[in-house]
Amino acid sequence: MSNAFVSLKGVEKRFAGHHAVRGIDLDIAAGEFIAIMGPSGCGKSTTLRLIAGLDEPTAGELHIGGRNMKGIPAFQRDTPMVWQSLALFPFLTVAENVAFPLRMKKIGADIRRQRALEWLDRMGLSGMADRQISQLSGGQKQRVAIARALVTEPSILLLDEPLSALDAHLRTRMQTELARLHRELRITFVYVTHAQSEAFALADRIVIMGDGVIQQVGKPQDVYREPVNPFVANFIGMNNLVAGQVLGTQGGYVEVQSRHGAFLVPAREPLASGSAASFVVAGDRVSLAAEGTPPTSDAPRIDGTVLGLEFEGSTQTVFVDVGGDTEFRVAKQQHEIESLGLVPGRRVSLSWDPQHAWLLPQAA
């Protein structure tokens, strides 16, 4: 990326007995909102700490604003971070917490106070400047932490699981707040999270990490619908992964023989007969019907048994055992669940439009 504001080239980080980050390359544009996701221990928080200067790379180069960060300590990088724990000072007032970074820059008390009050106003905390941190709600503390990070008017903001301690309602409100701030400030946001809903709602691009390496980078809709390997397919969304062997190609489709039958999948690349192949069908693109219902089309079809249902408000996730220790996950509206009378033990048929199957790229 030619206009990269943050650039990591072959960056590695080793700790005693642990290789946390394994030679990653990543360019982040000025003003971009990047979300880094992955399972625990994948290296995402370590990557954020490397950008912040809290850890030094074992190998590789890291540039911010065109400047090599080698040997540049965190306090000289102007890369504030909002922590999962917030790390607010309980012995300082709200305004003093927000003004603390300006104090460290030896800015005068009057200006510190003025800028702290301005940011508290922007965060909807007017009138709370002289309160103690212990007097605030969780959402208010979160806003104070963000105001403290932004009071120095940095070019980049780092966020490490910033909403994980909030309840669902507050998380939704803070997502809206973060999106508003990003639009208004037009600075670079690098956001580490476990929550896919947060990443998809906020980010311009998603970075999926696994085992210390970057597995995929792309727009949220591309990562969700077009995973590049089984790791991403299993991690993102409610993808159902089917593995098998190529029987042949016909009319722009690859025919894949799996233990559940033969299925046509849109061809993405030439595949030799007999070669291994896997494809993905997203859970929101699978239709359900009572077993034995006459098919309405030539759509692929698998029969199975409902294992259970997970209530998620207006939608439910239906878990279906399709044999061979394989479980399909299907997302359906509540009214569809009720009309089908779905309960554990019910036999059902699953089908999908062949166009909605995604053939995973062959391993290099």
137: buried, middle or exposed (CB in 10 Å: 19+, 13-18, 0-12)? exposed
Q: Look up the pTM and report it.
A: 0.89
Query: DSSP assignment, residue 52?
Result: H
CA dihedral 310, 312, 314, 317 (to 10 degrees): -40
Check if CATH label 2.40.50.100 holds for domain 238-359: yes
pLDDT in tens, 257-289: 999 999 999 988 888 899 999 999 999 999 999
- Three-state SS for 262-319 is EEEEECCCCCCCCCEEEEEEEHHHCEEEECCCCCCCCCCEEEEEEEEEEEECCEEEEE
Q: How far is CA 75 from CA 78, 80, 82, 105, 201, in A?
A: 7, 9, 15, 10, 31
The full length of the chain comes to 364
- Three-state SS for 184-249 is HHCCEEEEECCCHHHHHHHCCEEEEEECCEEEEEECHHHHHHCCCCHHHHHHCCCEEEEEEEEEEE
pLDDT in tens, 112-149: 999 999 999 998 898 899 999 999 988 899 899 999 99
CA dihedral 120, 121, 122, 128 (to 10 degrees): 40
Q: Please report, in tens digits, the pLDDT of each residue of the chain (364 residues total).
A: 457 999 999 999 999 888 999 999 999 999 999 999 999 999 999 999 999 999 999 999 999 999 999 999 998 998 999 988 888 999 999 999 999 999 989 999 999 999 999 999 998 898 899 999 999 988 899 899 999 999 999 999 999 988 887 787 788 888 998 999 999 999 999 999 988 889 999 999 999 999 999 999 999 999 999 999 999 999 987 899 999 999 998 888 999 999 999 999 998 888 889 999 999 999 999 999 988 787 667 788 899 999 999 987 778 899 999 987 789 999 988 888 888 888 899 999 999 999 999 999 876 4
CATH dotted code for 4-225: 3.40.50.300
Contact assessment for residue 60 and residue 40, using Cβ atoms and an 8 Å cutoff: no
Contact assessment for residue 47 and residue 54, using Cβ atoms and an 8 Å cutoff: no
Q: What are phi and psi of 353, to 5 degrees?
A: -70, 125
Reading the block at residue 167, the tokens are 């309840």
CA distance 319 to 137: 37
In the chain, what are the domain boundaries?
4-225, 238-359
CA distance 49 to 45: 6
pLDDT of residue 364: 46
